[in-house]
Amino acid sequence: MKKKYSWLLFDADGTILDYHAAEIFSLESAAASFGLEISAEVLNLYREINSALWADLEKGRISSLELRVKRFDTLATRLGWDISAEKFSQAYLRELGDSGFMMPGARKMLAEIPRDIHKAIITNGIKDTQYGRLMKAGLIDIFEEIIISEETGIAKPAAGFFDYTLERIGSSQIENMLVIGDSLSSDIAGGAGYGIDTCWFNPEKLENNTSVKPTYEISDWDGLFKIL
């Protein structure tokens, strides 16, 4: 028998919002204001540095305030750039917060979800940036709650993040909830660890080499409607 979910908890980046497109656009704009260019090598190096720092943040080792500057400090050191990492970070976040790139098909999918199903965003990110991007994409009113890790001080996959989520949405009926996201380490591990069903959005059909087991796996949004 099909399960009836009354709350869909969507991750933002890589699920609803196209983080990669926004990231490239914002890095290029910030670099241009410093007279610098973002080559493919620079982009790869930045992504390597940034994802290592986000992994530290998910483990609670650094704060989002530290992360936002440290990634550019490390990048500048590695590349010999003579810049203020603080100023570069501000320029980057200003651009990022003003970009509303969405994942293909996400807007249509959101519009097709039956009206009696509640929707929330659960995202690890910086408050102003995530709000800015969701606003730019015209998504603020589509979700009943927008829950951003920086507001809670705790990031997915920590249970504390989900405690806060339940409080915000005003429901503790986790059996009626579904976490939907592209990250096994934050969305799926977080939801599963908390006892919430999970749906791994895996458009690139990556192999799951982890011990994290999603309840469902989909590679496109049609897959979600087969679950609901």
Known catalytic residues are: 11
Contact between 13 and Mg ion by CB under 5 A: the answer reads yes
Contact between 23 and Mg ion by CB under 5 A: the answer reads no
Distant-in-sequence, close-in-space partners of 144: CB < 8 Å, separation ≥ 6: 118, 119, 120, 169
# of chain residues touching Mg ion (CB under 5 A): 5
Residue 154 — φ and ψ, nearest 5°?
-130, 135
Contact pattern from residue 149 through residue 188 relative to Mg ion, giving x for each residue in contact according to CB under 5 A and a dash for the rest: ---------------------------------xx-----
Joined tokens for residue 198: 């999970």
Q: State which residue, 11 or 73, has the beta carbon closest to Mg ion.
A: 11
Closest-approach residue to Mg ion (CB): 14
The total of other beta-carbon atoms located within 10 Å of residue 181's CB is 27
Give, in order, the Cα–Cα distances in Å from 218 to each of 166, 175, 214.
Answer: 25, 20, 10
Q: State which residue, 81 or 193, has the beta carbon closest to Mg ion.
A: 193
User: Do β-strands 118-123 and 197-201 pair in parallel, antiparallel, or remain unpaired?
Assistant: unpaired
Q: By CB under 5 A, what part of segment 90-119 binds Mg ion?
A: none
Contact between 14 and Mg ion by CB under 5 A: the answer reads yes
Please tell me whether residue 189 adopts helix, strand or coil conformation. helix
Q: Which of 11, 73, 95, 197 binds Mg ion (CB under 5 A)?
A: 11
Contact between 26 and Mg ion by CB under 5 A: the answer reads no
Torsion angle of alpha carbons 62, 189, 19, 94, nearest 10°? -30
CB of 87 to Mg ion, least distance (A): 28
Q: Which amino acid is at 174?
A: I
Q: State which residue, 75 or 103, has the beta carbon closest to Mg ion.
A: 103
Number of residues that this document lists for the chain: 228
Residues at the site binding Mg ion, with contacts judged by CB under 5 A: 11, 13-14, 182-183
